[in-house]
Amino acid sequence: SARRAMAAWARAVRGLLLDISGVLYDSGGDGGVPIAGSVEAVRRIKASGLKLQFCTNETQETREKFVKKLQGMGFDISVAEVTAPAPAACRILKEHGLRPHLLVHDDLVPEFAEIDKANPNCVVIGDAAENFTYANLNEAFRILIEMEKPVLISLGRGRYYKETDGLKLDVGAYMKALEYACDVQAEVVGKPAKTFFESALAELGVPAQQAIMIGDDIVNDVGGAQRCGMRALQVRTGKYRPSDENHPHVKPDAYVNNLAEAVDILLQQL
């Protein structure tokens, strides 16, 4: 009966947006590990005829490398099915004639190959991990503080994420440091930005009312998707913590133990 009551959120769904890290797998220095049942869950979604798009703030490597790693774990996923911040940022840079100073992970740099980076007039910050040194942050700070109108573009605003060896500080913490030092407000490309979810929905080809976002981040996945008119579920995997269930502002449409359980419930409704 709990199942039946819970399943109100599962009605009239035509497409799913899935977060990757913390939903499909936990990342880590060893490449990471798939979360139990999620490889099969993705296969079942595709077999069911529901539309599927992956929506990630992953910025530690190119989509190509990232997708290859997931395929190696057994996931049925292609680059075209992944909405990610770096390509979205490149579109903005080109449209506005911006030349970025990049404070990003070394492995992400190829995503910006087509972009003019000489004589920078903005800073792009991503999840740089070990590249978040004092020297690198200070260099980005100096470029911004010299500008009459500083432009800071952030590939997400997450506070932390979970790797196989524990929680890791995410780009949002460093974005806030630069915002504070330079008295500037970053433009966030990636979740929870409305434009980012809208482009993921456009790629999914389903209106917000008929789509569900599934993620482990209560603010960026669940809150962001709900603000776009989607239903959103929080999985109790990845960086989920029990305190998320008392969040003052964001209430998921449902909690599920993992992606596999969400898919079980959804497919019963079809």
Query: What pLDDT does residue 269 have?
Result: 85
The strand pair at 33-34 and 51-55 is best described as unpaired
Query: What pLDDT does residue 5 have?
Result: 53
Instruction: Please tell me the distance from the alpha carbon of residue 162 to that of residue 169, in angstroms, as a whole number.
Output: 9
Q: Residue 200, exposed/middle/buried by CB under 10 A (0-12, 13-18, 19+)?
A: buried
**Could you report the per-residue pLDDT of 221-241, keeping only the tens digit for each?**
999 999 999 999 999 999 999
Query: What pLDDT does residue 1 have?
Result: 44
The answer to whether the CB of 18 falls within 8 A of the CB of 57 is no
List the strands of the sheet with 254-256, edge to edge: 82-83, 51-55, 15-18, 211-215, 231-235, 254-256
List the strands of the sheet with 187-188, edge to edge: 100-103, 122-125, 152-154, 187-188
**Could you report the per-residue pLDDT of 62-100, keeping only the tens digit for each?**
999 999 999 999 999 999 999 999 999 999 999 999 999
Residue 3 has pLDDT above 90, yes or no: no
Tokens coding 29: 């220095």
Residue 43 has pLDDT above 70, yes or no: yes
Q: Mention every residue, 6+ apart, whose C-beta is less than 8 A from residue 138.
A: none
The answer to whether the CB of 211 falls within 8 A of the CB of 191 is no
Region 118-142 average pLDDT: 98
The answer to whether the CB of 80 falls within 8 A of the CB of 108 is no
Region 241-256 average pLDDT: 97
Q: Which CATH number fits domain 2-55+191-268: 3.40.630.40, 3.30.1490.390, 3.20.20.70, 3.40.50.1000?
A: 3.40.50.1000
**Could you report the per-residue pLDDT of 97-120, keeping only the tens digit for each?**
999 999 999 999 999 999 999 999
Query: What pLDDT does residue 4 have?
Result: 54
Instruction: Please tell me the distance from the alpha carbon of residue 259 to that of residue 249, in angstroms, as a whole number.
Output: 23
Fold of 88-188: Rossmann fold (3.40.50)
Region 159-188 average pLDDT: 97
The answer to whether the CB of 213 falls within 8 A of the CB of 17 is yes
In three-state secondary structure terms, 167 is strand
In three-state secondary structure terms, 34 is strand
Percent of all residues in the chain with a pLDDT value above 70, rounded to a whole number: 98
Region 33-40 average pLDDT: 98
Query: What interhelical angle do 38-48 and 259-269 show, nearest 10?
Result: 20
Tokens coding 174: 């460093």
The pLDDT mean for the chain works out to 96
Region 177-203 average pLDDT: 97
The answer to whether the CB of 35 falls within 8 A of the CB of 42 is no
Put simply, whether the predicted model's pTM sits higher than 0.85 gets the answer yes
Query: What pLDDT does residue 231 have?
Result: 98
Q: Where do the CATH 3.40.50.1000 domains begin and end in the chain?
A: 2-55+191-268, 88-188
Region 197-219 average pLDDT: 97
Residue among 118, 108, 114, 115 at smallest CA distance from 86: 108
